[in-house]
Structure 1
């Protein structure tokens, strides 16, 4: 890239003459490039399509099951039990869809994107070109992680928006009955649905860091993705074994369904905050491990 091109890319000659401003613009440009590349991949679009289809299938299934006057399975309670309320209010399809996708579909999609972050570039032979100055390893790793977090948010909102549209088309909308039995307005319900979607997205930041760390250990994108998804499945299995209940609070998936506490009146914050703290710990530990591994790695591809 010529000096003139660099100046134009960084925001003009003044920006190009300031090393600090230039580095900031390069970092921002790198992040923008990573986000654009991530969401242009057919694999990413296919994952988002599958996630968007889940609420459609759930909504149609509930509509068919209740079409003759029957009731959907479940009852008032947490997680998938929201399904019992869908026929009364289509907004509950948002909560049901998030609860249905969070244990596997959402984290699997995040695991694929995170696992492919570094290893995918290495297997394609493009990693060395991305590390040409002034990008640098630390900034590239940060951009990859930020792009993965952006995917976490977009994937979660894809499920939520799809569920809201399907719920509005197939079922009535109106006031909601919370898990505690109190009534809240539709606008309050929509606000809580948005807050729940943000909490679900935040619940995936630990897995994203884990996947990125795995991605620094190999030059095979497929191996990194498979390993990340395999670890996800293993953790989910461990979380269901009663004999390991002492270990459960430390597993990144243990508090995932705590978002249901946002549908209580008043909101129960204990498990929600425990989940967010645990995700930050996983992000810090595996993010640091990924940085240590990547900055010392011999790049050959």
Structure 2
């Protein structure tokens, strides 16, 4: 038993202080949800399918040609599942990247820019616990955003276009029930891929006290990787680029289903995430918090 003198223990900690009770997960979740940027980001996830539905209603018929073939865009109005697949296709490579970079890149840098980071650490909140809670809430917020996007797209598409089997670009039809399983699998892969972006944003967040730099840096590096992926001369290094498998989930809607690229993409994203998070932890543990 630790002896105490007044309100301070012999070990130097205040009487009753417990490291594991500082900055609880629910406290951080409430702080996240109270921020306008979180509310706007999640609200836009619900609104985006509505905007796309309005655009389709006012737009003309599809102009697919025999040479170009049929794509998810051409099949978007075939039913609720098809519309949801198109919404993922339209948002996975940029919009959701910005969202996860916002949730994970702003989290620590935002505290530093407000001047509250040093007060949290003086509470005292252990540095590892602070990072863990903020990282968990950042990824949870991203998962909620993806789920809201999927639910809004399925409901909106079904109300407007009906609940029909999902048509693939190859001409196959997948029952509506099975298509929902495929959409959930696509959402799961997209979330795993976004772990890499969020981890990069988190690394930049602990390295700077400017949230815009952390968020914008993660998005910019993702865009650069996408550009390099398009350069034919870099074909040999393409498999190791972070964005090489960002659309591998489209293999779920091929006939037969193609899962090889999804497996490679998941492994790549997890490896990059592990490296980025390890660097973030190492950097923050040694960082002198003066802002």
Class of the TM-score when normalised by the shorter of the 2 chains? 0.7 to 0.9
**4+ long deviations beyond 6 Å:** none
In the other structure, the counterpart of 2:51 is 57
Q: Is the 8 A contact 2:81 2:165 kept in 1?
A: no
In the other structure, the counterpart of 1:244 is 234
In the other structure, the counterpart of 1:278 is 268
Matching of residue 35 in structure 1 with residue 26 in structure 2: no
Q: State the distance in 1 between where 2:49 and 2:152 align.
A: 6
Q: Secondary structure at the match of 1:91?
A: helix
Task: Give per-residue Cα distances to partners, 1:26-81, cap 9 Å, x unaligned.
Answer: 37x63222222222211111122333332222222223335xxx336589x99x92
Q: State the distance in 2 between where 1:53 and 1:72 align.
A: 26
From the superposition, tell whether residues 260 and 127 of structure 1 become closer, same or farther in structure 2 (CA, over 3 Å).
same
Deviation at 1:113, TM superposition (A): 1.9
The alignment's C-alpha RMSD in Å is 2.7
Which of residues 132, 138, 156 is equivalent to 2:146? Answer: 156
| TM-score calculated relative to the size of structure 1 | 0.83
Deviation at 1:266, TM superposition (A): 4.0
| TM-score calculated relative to the size of structure 2 | 0.86
Q: Is the 8 A contact 2:206 2:284 kept in 1?
A: yes
Stretches of structure 2 lacking an aligned partner (at least 5 in a row): 1-14
Q: State the distance in 1 between where 2:266 and 2:254 align.
A: 18
In the other structure, the counterpart of 2:287 is 297
In the other structure, the counterpart of 2:83 is 93
In the other structure, the counterpart of 1:7 is none
Which of residues 201, 215, 218 is equivalent to 1:211? Answer: 201
Which of residues 108, 125, 130 is equivalent to 1:135? Answer: 125
Stretches of structure 1 lacking an aligned partner (at least 5 in a row): 1-15
Deviation at 1:247, TM superposition (A): 2.5
* Count, aligned residues: 277
Deviation at 1:268, TM superposition (A): 1.4
Deviation at 1:134, TM superposition (A): 5.8
From the superposition, tell whether residues 54 and 241 of structure 1 become closer, same or farther in structure 2 (CA, over 3 Å).
farther
Task: Give per-residue Cα distances to partners, 1:161-184, cap 9 Å, x unaligned.
Answer: 121122012112122234554433
Matching of residue 147 in structure 1 with residue 147 in structure 2: no
Matching of residue 234 in structure 1 with residue 228 in structure 2: no
Deviation at 1:133, TM superposition (A): 5.8
Q: Secondary structure at the match of 2:207?
A: coil
Q: Is the 8 A contact 1:74 1:84 kept in 2?
A: no
Task: Give per-residue Cα distances to partners, 1:249-284, cap 9 Å, x unaligned.
Answer: 222222111111122344311110111101101111
Q: Is the 8 A contact 1:74 1:81 kept in 2?
A: no
Q: State the distance in 2 between where 1:45 and 1:174 align.
A: 32
In the other structure, the counterpart of 2:181 is 191
Q: Secondary structure at the match of 1:256?
A: coil
Which of residues 75, 82, 86 is equivalent to 2:72? Answer: 82
